[in-house]
Amino acid sequence: MNCPYCNHVETKVTDSRDTGNYTIRRRRECLKCNRRFTTYEYIEMSPLYVIKKDGRREKFERNKIKNGLMKALEKRPISHDKIEEMLNSMEEKIRKNGKEEIESSTIGEYVMETLKDTDQVAYIRFASVYRSFTDVTSFEKEVKNLIEQYKGEIKK
C-alpha cells in the first residue's frame, strides 16, 4: 500500500476492523513520513450489472453511488464513516437480491430511502436530480410530501 502523502511503499497496519457488509477498515501508518491514513478493503463479489433506463447494461460501480451521495451531502453534517456505512448498507441490499442484474431505478430508490432517513436536505437535493424536477411546482410537491410524512411519524 503506497502512502497517499509521500508515496512510500512501506506502511504498517495500526488498527483493523470488520465493518460488516464485506468490508474491512484499516488504519495505516507510513514508515517513512509517519502520517496515518485509512483504507477500506472489499471482498470481490461476482460481477453485478446495472440496467440503465435506455436498456444498456453497465458493470455495477460502487463509486457512482458514492459520488451521488457526496454531491447530495455536500456541506451537510454527515461524516465519511456514516457515508461508508450508508454505502455498505445499500450495496448489501443490492447484492442480497441474489440476481446478477439490477435496474438503475431500484438503486436510485435505495439511495432516496437512505437519504430520507439520514438527511432530508440531501434527500431533496438528490430527488431534484433523480426525479428530474422541471419546475418549482415539482420541487414544492416533493417538499410537501416530505413534511407530511415527517408530521405523520411524529404523531406515532
pLDDT digits (tens, 9 = 90+) for 26-82: 999 999 999 999 998 887 777 889 999 899 999 999 999 999 999 999 999 999 999
Domains of the chain by residue range:
1-44, 46-155
Render pLDDT for 102-153 as a digit per residue (tens, 0 to 9): 999 999 999 999 998 899 889 888 888 887 777 778 778 888 888 887 776 6
- DSSP percent split of the chain into helix, strand, coil, nearest 5: 45, 20, 30
Q: Please, which residues have CB within 8 angstroms of residue 93's CB and are 6 or more apart in sequence?
A: 110
**Which residue's C-alpha cell is 447484492?**
95
Q: Which burial class, exposed, middle or buried, applies to 111 when counting CB atoms under 10 A from its CB (0-12, 13-18, 19+)? A: buried
For 23-27, 80-84, 94-98, 113-117, which range has the lowest pLDDT when averaged over its residues?
94-98
Dump strand ranges (E) for the chain: 11-20, 23-30, 36-42, 49-51, 57-59, 101-103
Residue 21 CA to residue 69 CA, distance in Å, equals 18
